[in-house]
Structure 1
Amino acid sequence: MSSRITYYGRFSRLLHWGMAALFAVQFITAITRFAFPDTALEEAVWGAHKPLGALLMALIVLRLVWAVVDRARRPASVNLAARLGHLALYVLMAVVPLVALLRQYGSGRAFAPFGIPLMPGFEGEIEWMTAIGSIFHGLLGWVLLALIVGHVGMAILHRRMAGEDVLVRMLPRHGAGR
């Protein structure tokens, strides 16, 4: 057996696929709000957007810490483009909810996702915070979606290329240890 690491560990795979599912739901809520404003459908799904964003923010912090801790046991990047693409994904996964949290704080409204108080409310508004959030949260969120679609597309493309089946790195390894 080669000493070269060819797959991600269980915890990395759990974070990857769990967050992929949560991001899918998150983007469904955003697309629904955009495509079906002021409808019963939007009302039914939009309430999940902020709490789910807070959960994703916590998970991206965990994922970044885990990537540093586990870096010696991760497969090498296929090439520089893959490394830069993953870096852009990580940066946007952190920045998009941070900008939303900045806007939320600036609005003066309390924020307690899943009943956990994260921000107390206050009287007034901090306009520069809400302006930054209003300009960049949605815009960068759509950029993140485009990068995710590109990420999936490249995984499929590499799977079809001989000798570069990178998708298996993130698939369950039956009978494998880690």
Structure 2
Amino acid sequence: MPSRWTDSPLRYGLVSRVLHWGMAALFAWQFNGMTVKLTLGKHPVTAFLVGTHKPVGTLLMLAILLRGAWGLSQWRRRPPHPRTAIGRLAGLGHALLYTLMAYIPTVALLREYGSGRGFAPWGVPLFPRTGEQIAWMMAPANLSHGALAWTLLAVIAGHVAMVVLHHVFWRDATLARMAGKL
């Protein structure tokens, strides 16, 4: 009998599910904060939410690294994508999700380091204050962080739409595999 902690060909294990849904909650927080910023502008709610953006982004980066390492350790156990065109597209969609999830906070952290301001999310010092800006470190995030973050949101929306399609129209066990109902 497979462990409830690890993945199996029939369903994702508890560790995969906690990482998936925990990251979903953190992404919802991030996108909610940026949406509030765009809609309300300067406002106390905006200040609070935007004030948490970098520390929560750092937590997301840690979760992404943990999820990537865990996913690799479970690679051969996981529920497989079907060997069809739709299965291949699902694999490409997941690869795009992971690529964007890794790239966006990586360039943000690179920008933080290059800013010279220092960085201590949740009071944990990651980068010391140097007072010197390093333009090439800041450029990738300045050019792409925001635009690719909104692109990630669109890809996440597509991911959710496909889950709805699987659940409502195709009536298969795709949602149950990640929701823990198998």
Q: What number of residue pairs does the alignment pair up?
A: 172
Match for 1:47: what amino acid?
Answer: G
| Residue from 5, 8, 13 that aligns with 1:9 | 13
Corresponding residue for residue 49 of structure 2: 45
Task: Give RMSD over aligned pairs.
Answer: 1.7
Corresponding residue for residue 80 of structure 1: 88
Corresponding residue for residue 145 of structure 2: 137
| Residue from 22, 26, 51 that aligns with 2:30 | 26
CA distance in 2: counterparts of 1:34 and 1:100, whole angstroms? 19
CA distance in 1: counterparts of 2:35 and 2:142, whole angstroms? 17
Unmatched 5+ stretches in structure 2: 1-7
Corresponding residue for residue 120 of structure 1: 128
Determine if contact 2:17/2:179 at 8 Å carries over to the other structure. Answer: yes
Unmatched 5+ stretches in structure 1: none
CA distance in 2: counterparts of 1:58 and 1:71, whole angstroms? 20
Report whether the alignment pairs 1:59 with 2:87. Answer: no
- 1:15-53 CA-to-partner distances (Å, cap 9, x unmatched) read 111111111001111112222222222112111100000
CA distance in 1: counterparts of 2:39 and 2:50, whole angstroms? 12
CA distance in 1: counterparts of 2:120 and 2:170, whole angstroms? 49
SS in 2 for 1:6: coil
CA distance in 1: counterparts of 2:170 and 2:114, whole angstroms? 51
Determine if contact 2:117/2:128 at 8 Å carries over to the other structure. Answer: yes
- More moved, 72-81 vs 145-154: 72-81
Q: CA deviation at 1:124?
A: 2.2
Identity %: 46
Corresponding residue for residue 155 of structure 1: 163
Corresponding residue for residue 100 of structure 1: 108
Match for 2:124: what amino acid?
Answer: I
Output the TM-score relative to the length of structure 2: 0.89
CA distance in 1: counterparts of 2:35 and 2:108, whole angstroms? 17
CA distance in 1: counterparts of 2:137 and 2:74, whole angstroms? 35
CA distance in 2: counterparts of 1:96 and 1:50, whole angstroms? 12
Match for 2:151: what amino acid?
Answer: V
CA distance in 2: counterparts of 1:19 and 1:171, whole angstroms? 14
